Structure 1
């Protein structure tokens, strides 16, 4: 069939109502081809009548042309994108064309728009790879009237406007929740995963009055190096939208995110309340220079900085994480413990892991670790859950990113064993919900190469919360496997829906599962299979396990957690010493001012954050760091005691930009007159060492200062934009003037530079 984007021009001689009545009559007689022609004639006159595009598509599908039907449904979608039944019909057409992954997405979209759409739920659970069966008659009757189902309204929420218009006086707030990584996640994703779900729930409750506290959300702008207030109304809107769909192109979602980006660019800097708290419930290791800015804000406002440590997984099972993540986490941990006044953890297990890592790094430092168990979910146990969709096969649910650490491979092998032992008809399906993550190739390859797994296991991605609630309600039970966990939120969610989670007996999963989970020996396929068989084939055992959840598991609500969170925050009244009070330095040490590699936290990784101050620094890179024309760039280093009157030599490893530049640098003791700058000229790209002399005095810090210059252009490279920079700095070493060994060792370790200036 030759399809066109729009019908030919109308003719005034034809009555549209008569054409439509004739088309409906032909459709009712199941004369699909003639009915299709009649609907086409009507649409030439009334091309904006989207329900008729759907009827036209039904006729073409019944006439045996699902490809044409899909094109016609898409035209209806262009006119009415939010109709649940329309997405159901698009899914049917895609299913008939063998495009199963796309069909699943359309069924999920239909269920998102209408959580009560039983046909969409049934198709979602029954469709599988290679399945080109016709849609169930109840959901695909072409003669059925088209009913417009508007999307469900978002639940009402209290709105607290927190940010003032640009140019107004800065907002002063007592507790600020840094939502930077959540907003960055939302740039490319909409459906939240574990850590994002925790942040959304806790901040939402704090903003809507979980306690009598002046709380606000904020975001850090790395380009300006400042925090800006995020209006409460905007945060709550994002939270509601994140639960209602997965499409980041949805106008409501895109509009909210555009507001966020405009705030980051244009809103005035947030002025924190004196003695307030900056709380980061997510992650920050990926944000350039974040902790340096935290230190500056602490010094300016007397802030208490409290990060949330969700786990130490990159340090405990690094083999299941990307190499880049392990190194980023190690550097972040090393610097975080120099800046935090307390940490929050989600379990006793994570608190113990945090303390173990802290003792290895700084054995004499004690940072309060406050446990906030994540024993809450948005749904309570359901003693009498609604029945599953009629005709849908029973299924088990596994929620978690499809990655190496979750070890889907073990669960898939267990399903193969069950099918071989009991037969495919006796074994429930497995529905896996989660994004594709790191090192999942083995599990995905096994699934792709096994006809049994392709028939019994469905892998669903980008599933909205509305659909997830339905899947939790309708599943027989859940399974959650992992090599290690900081908590395991899907275990809590399973218990909240009254469904038994099968989990390995290790790490924080013991705390998450409590008395309601069924445990198996970690990574033991035989024991996992035995637990699965108990729940699959012994209904009485499963019912008793569910009754135990109702009797013994007492989950909290998110408002309860938010109140405990704010109580924890309020208990942090005293600031810990600044970084220099937590570190000790020796003369002759080489202090690297760059991103150091390594899979374990080391003090040297944190030095670049601890030493730099002033606006004239660019972000750290693997080779070193550029100064910038934005203002003075200083290095501040505490000197060991007992050096009164000792002549010192300061040696700097410098790197010129790709063009010749002028450098002005000086060294002095804090609180003393700084003296004159030493001025140098460098060739393009030159690497050199510069030495400066200073005499030590009691209890004073050494300051090395670079005067801002006009700057030269560094071209874009390595994902960084083109920038205006000054001289680059690679490392710093301070020793006694007469310590020739330290000076020689430093120069040799730096591979004999091209030029040394004494």
Structure 2
């Protein structure tokens, strides 16, 4: 008998059955909006159908309508409070939402009612302890979780759909984390500007967005827009993460575009004892700055300097990148560990929705086996110019009819105009080059399957995903022989000197003309090349991080990471490349989020009591009882007065006129320091009588409240005349 329908006429029963059938069909097709409508229609006929309330909850949960899903599941419980399945589904829902307490509550009830679901018992084994203990002091199953920071990927999806290299790595590692089990809890988060902290990502909604990013479609597609808005809406509504003590944050993408990212890392370290592990994909802006914008070079330099000061451990994507990182660190302070290498020798991103036919190749006007594929951002570093020159010479040598098409796939990047000019100036060359941007993964897969072979001519890489992707499709890659590319291609790729167009042309000729050779290389790839699953890469990363922090000899950096100041050194916040390391030290002086983000000249105080924190470096000590503190300060659009304190000791008060920039010297005593030997940190507090509301001076355009501006800092002994003269030679000094 159909539940709750015993007193209904046959017509109602049949209507209910039809609605349920339609809902189930929509559910099986993952057409969740339609399923919701059908199940609601069925419940209008019979509101006592407990199982349909559960199905409605499933569909609502899939669309991220968690509040409505909770109501539906609880309605089912009102009809039958002893259903282990409904309690299990509520446990799943709260687990996805990050509500450990309620997830454990319903999973325990489900287990008590006889549930056999392994997820129930696995979750209880891992998370039950968090209900008895505060999350900040106890962690699940004795294992502190690892949070992966996908801020970069979330930001990318705001304006783009199809992933490039680093985004592809993040997507596949996220999917692997969702599909595999690990001894340590793995969670996903993103930095949210409104919350000014990290927020856990809704894994179901984010997975849906990642899956859609591999399929054809536009960013204007309502399905894509809805999935993106669901992720962003979830992030805006969730509370900031309370990192369990000893948790690790792995930044798998880039972060230098996030204002004050380093300051928030310091805050999380101080508040929660968070361990920070950046994944460094390359040092390209430092190694080949000629191929990067000036702004990117400056942002990256500032970021890597902070990494060297604040990272507890570093992961990299190749041995070559590891060497670059270690060498760079040695110019500052050598690392006391080896960065974890996570080789990106993974299979091409696969989706069960990928088309198996190669109609896209035909749609592009191409013939399978008659084109060479070059995948990479259209920018100067990828060396399209060199490949175009080789194609030009190939046409002259072989004739245009015997020269294959060159298909370049990638989004437009930095300094591509000179390479493009080579093509535009030669109509014969232009007829043999096809440039494609904004294509999906299944369309790219079609191009890989149909190509004769691939070419990759980059001047420098962190890994070189297109090389490995080519091999994944059984295609030979003719790769430049530099940086990490021999790691990506191994013995399966052919190589050329990318400073020599002639050498590139020789490699192209051999693969085009010598079919026997090319086929033998393809056979070698087919029989011996084994790309790894992304789960294996994630296990490398997770294992490397957990093993590093489990070593008895490893000491975590201070939970309150502050600047180590060397007496006799001037630290500046100005964007001056010559002072990159000193600027990073100056930035870490800013304490407890009491300062606004950095600007090109320095930064404004954010709080009525702004704080600078520092330790004295052991590299050089203060030898006198008295010492001097030097600061360069500025004032906003209103005059201000601020009092400066070192601990509880007042150094003096400073009044600044509108827009003034002044250099100030304070006297202090070593006995006022928390620890002259540098084991403890000192706080220099700046008390303002009031802050200036910039909205009143910018027609509402800038709503910040600001205090004093901070530009430079230094300490020295009174008899360090060289340092004092250096400062006084360049400045008018106010002595307080």
**TM category, shorter:** 0.7 to 0.9
In the aligned structure 2, how far is the partner of 1:534 from the partner of 1:165?
60
In the aligned structure 2, how far is the partner of 1:311 from the partner of 1:326?
13
C-alpha change, 1:160 and 1:336, in structure 2 (3 Å) is farther
The equivalent of 2:570 in structure 1 is 590
Greater CA drift, 674-683 or 158-167:
158-167
Select the structure that is richer in helix.
2
In the aligned structure 2, how far is the partner of 1:631 from the partner of 1:236?
43
In the aligned structure 1, how far is the partner of 2:724 from the partner of 2:97?
53
Asked if the contact 2:563/2:589 (under 8 Å) is kept, the reply is: no
The equivalent of 1:692 in structure 2 is 666
Listed one character per residue, the Cα deviations across residues 540-574 of structure 1 (whole Å, up to 9, x for unaligned) are 22111100101221211112212222211211213
Per-residue deviation at 1:454? Answer: 1.9
Match of 2:515 among 531, 539, 548: 539
C-alpha change, 1:358 and 1:480, in structure 2 (3 Å) is same
Greater CA drift, 628-637 or 654-663:
628-637
The equivalent of 1:734 in structure 2 is 715
Match of 2:156 among 182, 185, 201: 185
In the aligned structure 1, how far is the partner of 2:94 from the partner of 2:180?
9
C-alpha change, 1:709 and 1:293, in structure 2 (3 Å) is farther
* 2:346 is the counterpart of 1:376: yes
**Residue 693 of structure 1 aligns to a residue in which SS?**
strand
The equivalent of 2:122 in structure 1 is none
The equivalent of 2:704 in structure 1 is 723
The equivalent of 1:745 in structure 2 is 726
Asked if the contact 2:202/2:231 (under 8 Å) is kept, the reply is: no
In the aligned structure 2, how far is the partner of 1:430 from the partner of 1:375?
25
Asked if the contact 1:664/1:679 (under 8 Å) is kept, the reply is: yes
Match runs of 1:571-720 below 5 Å: 571-573=547-549, 574-578=554-558, 585-598=565-578, 602-629=580-607, 632-638=610-616, 643=622, 646-668=625-647, 674-676=648-650, 678-697=652-671, 698-699=676-677, 701-707=681-687, 709-714=689-694
C-alpha change, 1:248 and 1:297, in structure 2 (3 Å) is same
In the aligned structure 2, how far is the partner of 1:426 from the partner of 1:637?
69
Unaligned 5+ segments in structure 2 are 1-91, 103-133, 351-355
RMSD over aligned CA atoms reads 2.9
In the aligned structure 1, how far is the partner of 2:495 from the partner of 2:322?
22
**Residue 326 of structure 2 aligns to a residue in which SS?**
helix
Match runs of 1:177-576 below 5 Å: 177-222=148-193, 224-245=195-216, 247-363=218-334, 365-378=335-348, 392-393=366-367, 394-573=370-549, 574-576=554-556
The equivalent of 2:33 in structure 1 is none
In the aligned structure 2, how far is the partner of 1:284 from the partner of 1:500?
35
TM-score normalised per structure 1: 0.72
Asked if the contact 2:638/2:692 (under 8 Å) is kept, the reply is: yes
In the aligned structure 2, how far is the partner of 1:321 from the partner of 1:413?
22
C-alpha change, 1:166 and 1:553, in structure 2 (3 Å) is closer
C-alpha change, 1:424 and 1:174, in structure 2 (3 Å) is same
Per-residue deviation at 1:682? Answer: 2.5
Asked if the contact 1:370/1:568 (under 8 Å) is kept, the reply is: yes
TM-score normalised per structure 2: 0.74
Asked if the contact 2:135/2:244 (under 8 Å) is kept, the reply is: no
In the aligned structure 2, how far is the partner of 1:650 from the partner of 1:400?
51
**Residue 188 of structure 2 aligns to a residue in which SS?**
strand
Asked if the contact 2:147/2:250 (under 8 Å) is kept, the reply is: yes
In the aligned structure 1, how far is the partner of 2:297 from the partner of 2:197?
27
C-alpha change, 1:450 and 1:373, in structure 2 (3 Å) is same
The equivalent of 1:50 in structure 2 is none
In the aligned structure 2, how far is the partner of 1:628 from the partner of 1:246?
44
C-alpha change, 1:686 and 1:387, in structure 2 (3 Å) is closer
C-alpha change, 1:220 and 1:502, in structure 2 (3 Å) is same
Greater CA drift, 481-490 or 243-252:
243-252
C-alpha change, 1:255 and 1:517, in structure 2 (3 Å) is same
In the aligned structure 2, how far is the partner of 1:649 from the partner of 1:347?
46
Per-residue deviation at 1:729? Answer: 0.8
In the aligned structure 1, how far is the partner of 2:454 from the partner of 2:706?
54
